[in-house]
């Protein structure tokens, strides 16, 4: 099939069959997660803007941040800078300083990237906590369902054969060659490994580091502070996990588009997916 036809997800040439690719529970959990991740990221950036710097340890070392978004009044006006350790990058207009009603204003992340748009820490926290609980409950329910129905064991858990096929699958994806026919019925090795790392790695880590930043949770479970080496370290790990989710989200969208946008989108809405029938006449 020509590349442009595959990207659009058009009907493949020759005999085709329609398979049931995603169960109802999978589809609901997918869209709830997508909404939660978007709200969590944007509201999290709103919270981060209240103090746009990250540290390692139990307390804030203002002179030695791991990351900081700052502003400085120079000869040509207000400039925004991103500090990564001791390295400074001019990010005026995007990070550190952004345009607010035509005026250069100190601001970590710009208003279009935060929820709500204006500087509103209290509302950002409300959005963040609400989405976090929904994200956690949705993830736990899906995990229980996936384990109970055998979906995790049969469809998501990587096998020894998957690990052996991983280098080949990775190269095929780089060449934009995706599974077709019977091979498209199941998750490939790269998908399985990615989903397992996100569901059982990033998910619990971002949840635990989020809880560690809560004084109430620290009082009830002081082991959290010991586990992550302090509240500021937990905040930094939480921030890195959030952008890892964002990176996964972007890669996921790109792969969905390149491997057949309409076919993939339809399968996650209706559950039905069209593949070529290699056994057809």
Q: What is the pLDDT of residues 130-151, one digit of tens each?
A: 999 999 999 889 989 988 888 8
Q: Is the pLDDT of residue 8 over 60?
A: no
Q: Enter the DSSP assignment of 62.
A: T
Query: What pLDDT does residue 155 have?
Result: 84
Query: What pLDDT does residue 263 have?
Result: 84
Residue among 252, 251, 273 nearest 262 (CA): 273
- Token pair 């710097």 is found at 53
| Total-model pTM | 0.85
Structural domains of the chain ordered from first start: 3-52+110-276 (1.20.950.20), 53-108 (no CATH)
Residue among 237, 206, 205, 231 nearest 216 (CA): 231
Confidence of residue 3 (pLDDT cuts 50, 70, 90): low
Q: Enter the DSSP assignment of 276.
A: E
Confidence of residue 196 (pLDDT cuts 50, 70, 90): confident
Query: What pLDDT does residue 268 have?
Result: 92
- What mean pLDDT is reported for the chain? 87
Which range among 14-28, 101-115, 236-250, 260-274 has the greatest average pLDDT? 236-250
CA distance 264 to 41: 24
CA distance 33 to 30: 5
Confidence of residue 125 (pLDDT cuts 50, 70, 90): very high
Largest CA distance in the chain: 75
For residues 76 and 93, the answer to whether their CB atoms sit within 8 Å is: no
Confidence of residue 2 (pLDDT cuts 50, 70, 90): low
CA distance 76 to 174: 44
Residue 200's contacts (CB-CB under 8 Å, 6 or more residues apart) are: none
Q: Is the pLDDT of residue 4 over 60?
A: no
User: What are the tens digits of pLDDT across the range 147-178?
Assistant: 888 888 888 888 898 899 899 998 988 888 88
Q: How many residues does the chain have?
A: 281
- Token pair 């004084």 is found at 215
Helix spans in the chain (H): 3-8, 24-49, 121-148, 151, 160-174, 189-197, 203-212, 215-220, 223-228, 231-258, 261-270
């Amino acid at each position: 099939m020509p590349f442009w036809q595959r990207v659009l997800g058009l009907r493949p040439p020759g005999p085709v069959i329609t398979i049931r690719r995603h169960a109802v529970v999978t589809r609901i959990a997918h869209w709830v997660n997508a909404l939660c991740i978007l709200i969590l990221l944007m509201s999290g950036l709103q919270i981060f803007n209240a103090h746009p710097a990250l540290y390692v340890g139990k307390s804030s070392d203002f002179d030695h941040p791991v990351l900081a978004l700052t502003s400085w009044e120079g000869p040509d006006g207000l400039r925004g800078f991103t500090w990564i350790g001791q390295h400074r990058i001019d990010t005026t207009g995007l990070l550190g300083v952004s345009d607010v009603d035509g005026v250069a204003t100190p601001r970590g992340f710009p208003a279009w990237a935060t929820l709500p748009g204006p500087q509103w820490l209290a509302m950002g926290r409300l959005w963040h906590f609400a989405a976090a609980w929904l994200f956690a409950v949705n993830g736990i329910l899906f995990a229980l369902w996936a384990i109970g129905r055998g979906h995790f064991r049969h469809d998501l858990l990587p096998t020894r054969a998957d690990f052996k096929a991983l280098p080949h699958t990775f190269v095929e994806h780089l060449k934009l060659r995706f599974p077709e026919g019977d091979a498209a019925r199941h998750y490939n090795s790269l998908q399985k490994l990615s989903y397992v790392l996100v569901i059982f790695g990033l998910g619990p880590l971002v949840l635990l580091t989020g809880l560690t930043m809560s004084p109430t949770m620290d009082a009830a479970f002081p082991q959290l502070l010991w586990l992550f080496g302090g509240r500021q370290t937990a905040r930094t790990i939480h921030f890195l996990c959030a952008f890892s989710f964002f990176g996964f989200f972007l890669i996921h969208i790109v792969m969905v588009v390149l491997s057949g946008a309409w076919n993939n989108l339809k399968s996650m809405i209706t559950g039905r997916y069209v593949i070529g029938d290699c056994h057809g006449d």
